[in-house]
């Protein structure tokens, strides 16, 4: 077993008027995903379903994010969502509320190893090399 990080994607999303933290997070996820076309699964000959997708979201009110609603954005892979206190809320000039900014990081990994070592490896493939 060796969960190996391949690519980290970054995004930012906002909810300007409705203070919808889930929508801000969803826009941040789309910003991160749709700036990139990730070919890592094909490049290594792995099925896309083997992609382990860790989603980390920073907003000022983590409890107001509906994590389950965010999972449906991902077209493939095995997503999981973690929400922490972060992002930024900006007070509106008329005092009627805040504009919400969500920061998003999406970490794509595979449980993989150099060929021949897959069943015995227990550490990330730092020294695996494999480019023979």
Partner 1 sequence: MSEQRIILEMGTGNDLYGMDYTKAACRAVHDALHHSSIVMFQSLGIDHHQMRVEVTIAVQEPDAVDTDAVARELPRGRAEVTVVQGGLNVHDEASGQTHVIASAAIAAMLDIDHDAWQLCQS
**Which residues sit at the interface with partner 1, rule CB under 8 A?**
1-2, 4-11, 31-32, 35-40, 42-46, 50, 110-115, 118-119, 121, 124-132
Q: How far is CA 5 from the centre of its chain?
A: 12
What's the closest the beta carbon of residue 42 comes to partner 1, in angstroms? 7
Would you say 14 and 24 are in contact if contact means Cβ atoms under 8 Å apart? yes
Name the burial class of residue 30, with classes exposed (0-12), middle (13-18) and buried (19+) by CB atoms within 10 angstroms of its CB: middle
Q: Which is nearer to partner 1, 45 or 95 (CB)?
A: 45
Distance CA 9, CA 120 (A): 30
What's the closest the beta carbon of residue 91 comes to partner 1, in angstroms? 28
What's the closest the beta carbon of residue 55 comes to partner 1, in angstroms? 14
């Amino acid at each position: 077993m060796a969960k190996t990080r391949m690519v980290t994607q970054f995004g930012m999303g906002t909810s300007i008027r409705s203070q919808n933290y889930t929508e801000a997070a969803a826009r941040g996820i789309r910003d991160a995903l749709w700036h990139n076309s990730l070919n890592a699964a094909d490049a290594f000959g792995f099925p896309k379903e083997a992609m382990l997708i860790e989603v980390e979201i920073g907003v000022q009110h983590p409890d107001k994010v509906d994590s389950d609603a965010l999972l449906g954005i991902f077209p493939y892979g095995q997503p999981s969502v973690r929400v922490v206190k972060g992002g930024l809320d900006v007070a509106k000039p008329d005092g009627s509320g805040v504009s919400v900014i969500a920061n998003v990081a999406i970490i794509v990994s595979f449980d993989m190893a150099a060929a021949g070592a897959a069943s015995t490896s227990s550490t990330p493939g730092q020294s695996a090399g494999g480019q023979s």
